[in-house]
């Protein structure tokens, strides 16, 4: 782990193409380290050690796979960002790149949330993790917004060719040495990887949500805001005539079902804890998150010199910023400005992007590439 980590730190001085190649070559090593550390944690839990490990040692041991997953997700994120910066993706491939960037940010956020619970409250690692959270959240929103805005360019490509191009573009994730590891279908979510089926499902979900927002909720006469017909007053009165007996008869059933109801509610809250918005909403959210970033509070962004002698108390010197602090502030300001500018021109729906005719969209089952894939109908078929 130290060997791979030191190489990653050293690659920070490489030029962008060389660093991208290095990160691609070390992806397998990070994946192998993740499974190795997971096996180590499992072995320690199943073995009776004499003397047993202390609680602090166990927490550090259990944090090792999470730390590896964070570094791996960061490598995937930087590979995609550098590829976009070097213009390596064709217009039809950018939707897949933005989707993978979104998944990498989402995976890193989930792992960091679990890792924060194992870190000491006042530790440097905890402060760094807290400082990075709004940046990752804003990058996730930017990636999803750009994914929606570049989706029509992908939908105009032949489905078979799109699948082949997708796998060819991400061939560094499909190298032969991965056959030494567990099957990809068993990989946990924190090991983010390009997956054609998941990408196609994300495209389908985006179009489905886009259609739902365009149609809007329908209400009929006599229905409330929730779309459920409101009961008549006379029916309510008749049902309420049961008195205490009916209340006691239903009390047992209600008591028995309360726990199950709460459990189902918790599960549904976990499943729907985050919902994507439109491109305009996500861009505005990214700009708001970037406005909350305080560069001076980030560790290593400023330095406070210590007094020359501890025996003679003196007024602490003002905090001085490091040389790259101003560059970081300019970067976040530029990103916020770009997010605001994109939000002004962002379409309210996928069908409005680049004057794309939404009537030509067609989702069909394709056996060759698997799953539901996007296709484009001719204008004659769309007219019929």
Q: Could you say which DSSP state residue 322 is in?
A: -
Q: Are strands 361-365 and 302-303 parallel, antiparallel or unpaired?
A: unpaired
User: Residue 97 has what pLDDT?
Assistant: 93
* H/E stretch holding 364: strand 361-365
Please give the structure tokens belonging to residue 99: 């989707």
Mean pLDDT per block of 10 residues along the chain (384 residues) reads: 86 87 90 91 82 80 89 92 88 91 93 85 81 87 89 83 88 82 83 89 79 48 40 42 40 41 41 65 85 73 45 45 64 78 72 49 38 43 52
User: Residue 11 has what pLDDT?
Assistant: 85
User: Residue 53 has what pLDDT?
Assistant: 79
What's the Cα-to-Cα distance from 375 to each of 159, 202, 284, rounded to whole Å?
6, 15, 31
User: Residue 75 has what pLDDT?
Assistant: 92
Q: Are strands 372-376 and 361-365 parallel, antiparallel or unpaired?
A: antiparallel
How many Cβ atoms are within 10 Å of 339's Cβ, its own excluded?
24
Burial 104-117 (b: 16+ CB within 10 A, else e): bbbbbbbbbeebee
Under 8 Å between Cβ of 373 and 200: yes
Among 153, 150, 146, 152, smallest CA distance to 338 is for 146
Q: Could you tell me the residue ranges of all domains in the chain? A: 2-214+276-301+324-383
């Amino acid at each position: 782990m130290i060997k791979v980590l030191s190489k990653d730190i050293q690659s920070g001085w490489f030029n962008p193409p060389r660093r991208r190649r290095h990160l691609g070559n070390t992806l397998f090593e990070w994946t192998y380290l993740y499974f190795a550390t997971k096996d180590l944690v499992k072995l320690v839990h199943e073995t009776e050690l004499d003397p047993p490990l202390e609680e602090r040692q166990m927490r550090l041991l259990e944090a090792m796979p999470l730390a590896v997953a964070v570094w791996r997700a960061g490598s995937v994120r930087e590979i995609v960002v550098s590829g976009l910066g070097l213009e390596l993706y064709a217009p039809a491939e950018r939707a897949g790149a933005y989707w993978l960037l979104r998944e990498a940010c989402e995976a890193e956020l989930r792992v960091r949330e679990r890792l924060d619970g194992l870190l000491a409250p006042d530790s440097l690692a905890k402060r760094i993790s807290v400082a990075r959270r709004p940046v990752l959240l804003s990058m996730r929103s930017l990636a999803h917004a750009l994914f929606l805005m570049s989706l029509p360019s992908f939908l105009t490509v032949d489905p078979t060719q799109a699948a082949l191009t997708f796998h060819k573009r991400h061939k560094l994730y499909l190298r032969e040495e991965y056959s030494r590891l567990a099957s990809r279908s068993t990989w946990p979510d924190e090991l983010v990887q390009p997956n054609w089926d998941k990408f196609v499902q994300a495209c389908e979900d985006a179009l489905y949500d886009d259609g739902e927002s365009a149609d809007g909720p329908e209400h009929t006469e006599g229905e409330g805001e929730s779309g459920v017909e409101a009961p008549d007053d006379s029916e309510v009165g008749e049902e309420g005539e049961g008195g205490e007996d009916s209340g006691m008869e239903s009390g047992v059933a209600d008591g028995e079902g309360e726990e199950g109801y709460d459990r189902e509610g918790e599960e549904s809250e976990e499943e729907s804890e985050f919902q994507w918005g439109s491109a305009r909403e996500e861009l505005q959210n990214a700009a708001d998150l970037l406005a909350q970033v305080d560069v001076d509070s980030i560790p290593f962004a400023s330095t406070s010199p210590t007094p020359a002698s501890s025996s003679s108390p003196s007024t602490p010197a003002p905090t001085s910023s490091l040389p790259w602090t101003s560059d970081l502030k300019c970067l976040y300001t530029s990103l916020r400005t770009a997010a605001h500018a994109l939000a002004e021109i962002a379409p309210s729906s996928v069908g409005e992007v680049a004057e794309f005719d939404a009537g030509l969209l067609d989702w069909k089952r394709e056996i060759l590439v698997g799953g539901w894939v996007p296709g484009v109908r001719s204008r004659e078929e769309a007219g019929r």
